[in-house]
Structure 1
Amino acid sequence: MKKNTLLNAELSYVIATLGHTDEITICDAGLPVPEESQRIDLALVQGIPTFIDTVKATLSEMQIEGVIVAKEFKTVSPQLHDALMSLIHLEEELRGKPITVSYTPHEEFKVHTRNSKAIVRTGECTPYANVIFQSGVVF
């Protein structure tokens, strides 16, 4: 049995196969997932798993260098946005490397998800609770 935090086989595999600058999306229950994208559906019921719990589990194994979120996230759901940004700042401190945060309109965000190696759907029902992580390197 896997000893590290992340037990979901699909998500663990995707993270293990990421190269530098590859992207994955973690999204709320309502974000449309393009047909051509790999869908990792973790949603069980409303709120389970949460967006933040999924982000924490992902960051436990993924090195990131960039983050993309919708501009609307910051104003429509500020508490969850701030919780995400706190995790990003903590990640910067732990890794000793800066992480670039970019904001884009939600419609552009949805188009950008097509570049993701996988889209991870949570049970989160908070508006705009979506993030694209760009893979970094550990050296």
Structure 2
Amino acid sequence: MYKTGILNSEISKVLSDLGHTDKIVIADCGLPIPKGVKKIDLALTFGVPSFETVYKTILEHMAVQKIVIANEMKEANNSLYQLIKGTNIDTESVSHEEFKHLTSSTVAVIRTGEATPFANVILESDVLF
């Protein structure tokens, strides 16, 4: 049995298979998920699990070189924006419409129970060397 790390087998598999520049999404419970993109649904109820819990856990186990957010997060969800800016990872912001378009080229979307506006990020995989 897996002793440490992420216990969710689907997330563990996706992270293990990522190559340099592959992308995943951590999403709130309202973000549309494009057809053909793997959905890993963790949502139980509104707020559970929270975006922050999932985001911090993924960052512990994934080498990330870039984060993409929606411009709208800065005003509509400033506390989350401040959390993301505090990671010291290169961050790009695009319109929410562009963000939704970009999700179609990701490996997977991890859907949380988060129910606050624009609580979505695209994480671009880095290399460890």
> TM over 0.5, yes or no?
yes
Instruction: For 1:53, give the aligned amino acid.
Output: T
Contact 1:33 1:39 in 2 (8 A): yes
Residues 10-89 of structure 1 mapped to structure 2, 5 A cutoff: 10-86=10-86, 88-89=87-88
Shift of 1:60: 1.4
Q: Deviations over 1:63-111 (max 9, x none)?
A: 000110000001111012112222x22xxxxxxxxx3210000000000
Please give the alpha-carbon distance, in whole angstroms, between the structure 2 residues aligned to 1:83 and 1:125.
17
Amino acid at match of 2:55: V
Aligned length: 129
> For residues 78 and 5 of structure 1, what CA distance do their matches in structure 2 show?
29
| One of 90, 93, 99 as aligned partner of 1:109 | 99
Unaligned runs of 5+ in 1: 90-98
- The structure carrying a bigger helix percent of its residues is 1
Letter in 2 for 1:33: I
Question: What TM-score does the superposition give when structure 1 sets the normalisation length?
Answer: 0.90
> What stretches of structure 2 of length at least 5 have no aligned partner?
none
TM-score by length of 2: 0.97
Question: Structure 1 stretches (4+) deviating beyond 3 angstroms?
Answer: none
* Percent identical: 43
SS of match in other structure, 1:110 = helix
Contact 1:25 1:119 in 2 (8 A): yes
